[in-house]
A and B are shown apart, each in its own frame.
Chain A
């Protein structure tokens, strides 16, 4: 079974600075999807960024980018120019592509605080 590990329970960053959240995963599959989700206090899950494993190019979405290292099974999220609204729980997730519509497997999350 696949596992996702987020080793940083909490992180903090000064407003306008850059922060990187770590995520590693374990799988024997060669093709899969990786995600970062944001969960603010409302608890609505918000997709931040998605990466297909077959793509070597790192995904980017405005201030959010990933460093995808397939061989190392690492998928870190970089948030640039941090804003107060970025404060939330961030979950890394894995999804298999092997068969049908498969569920997301989540890490334990990292709580990000943004300091004004």
Chain B
């Protein structure tokens, strides 16, 4: 089946630093990638939708200048958390969308900001 990777799987950083999370589709091309955030014991909340070669569309309440999304190719999207603070600590999951109802989740990245 289709495989999506995320790197890193876990990151711990100091408050004020920036963290980049990569999402790659390994054996297919994804025209659309979705970024979700999941706080402990909560559901997945959509942060933004990105299409290759165009600007990402952010959900209401998500700061686009804080969560920078780059979808430079059909197999790679990156989420950069700029000037991270403890409240940004969360589990970040990408999903690569395909035609129809198909799509595949990455394994997620656990971010801890000290």
Q: Is the CB of A108 within 8 A of B97?
A: no
* In the complex, B71 has a CB within 8 A of chain A: no
With A43-B108, A44-B107, A45-B105 as given contacts, are A101 and B43 in contact (CB-CB < 8 Å)?
A: no
Chain A interface residue number, banded: 20 to 34
Binding site for A on B (CB under 8 A): 31-32, 34, 38, 42-46, 49, 51, 91, 93, 95, 97-99, 101, 103, 105, 107-108
In the complex, whether A103 has a CB less than 8 A from a CB of chain B is yes
Beyond A43-B91, A101-B31, whether A106 also contacts B44 by CB under 8 A is: yes
Q: B51 contacts which chain A residues (CB < 8 A)? A: 101
Does any Cβ of B come within 8 Å of A15's Cβ?
A: no
Contact check, A52 vs B101: say whether CB atoms are below 8 A apart: yes
Contact residues in A for B105 (Cβ distance below 8 Å): 44-45
- Least CB distance, B6 to chain A, in whole angstroms: 10
Known: A50-B101, A95-B101, A101-B32. A109 touches B43 (CB 8 A): yes
Which chain A residues have a beta carbon within 8 Å of chain B's beta carbons?
33, 35, 42-45, 50, 52, 91, 95, 97, 100-101, 103-109
Tell me whether A104 and B43 are in contact (CB under 8 A). no
Q: How far is the CB of B98 from chain A (nearest CB, A)?
A: 8
**Residues from chain B with Cβ under 8 Å of A109 in the complex:** 42-43
Contacting residues, chain A, for B45 (C-beta < 8 A):
106
Minimum-distance CB pairs A-B, first 3: A101-B32, A45-B105, A101-B97
- Expressed in whole angstroms, the minimum distance between the Cβ of B24 and any Cβ of chain A is 16
Residues in chain A near residue B97, CB distance under 8 A: 101, 103
